[in-house]
Amino acid sequence: MKYDQIVSSVGLKSIAPRLIRREDAGLYLAAPKLLTEMEEAGWIAPVVSRNRMTLFDVRQIDACVDRLAAGESPKDSVQPPAGR
């Protein structure tokens, strides 16, 4: 069941979740590719990463947005792959 369905079934309208799915995190940023770039740069990592459930903390996403607003770019700080 998706978050929207849960909220509507309980009758709540204004609760903002702290953890959001990958798809919702991309929408939250208004750029799904940007989320991937932030992960590759090491700016953010999923809080929960299991089979089909990957969740991000909204506060970590907000911290990344603050870095963008300060003029940083995830492309400038991409970490090399492990083992190199």
Q: Is residue 49 part of a domain?
A: yes
- What's the CATH code of the domain at 43? 1.10.1660.10
Predicted pLDDT at 16: 72
How large a percentage of the chain has pLDDT more than 90?
A: 58
User: Which pair of tokens denotes residue 76?
Assistant: 């400038």
Neighbours of 43 (CB within 10 A): 20
Q: How does pLDDT run across 6-16, given as a tens digit for each residue?
A: 556 655 556 67
Q: Is residue 42 part of a domain?
A: yes
Give the CA distances from residue 36 to residues 12, 15, 30, 33, in Å, rounded to whole numbers and listed in that order.
31, 26, 12, 5
Q: Is residue 83 part of a domain?
A: no
Q: Is residue 11 part of a domain?
A: no
Q: How far is the C-alpha of 57 from the C-alpha of 27, rounded, in Å?
A: 14
Q: Is residue 56 part of a domain?
A: yes
CB contact at 8 A, 43 and 77: yes
Q: How does pLDDT run across 40-68, given as a tens digit for each residue?
A: 999 999 999 998 899 999 999 999 999 99
Pairing outcome for strands 48-50 and 19-21: unpaired
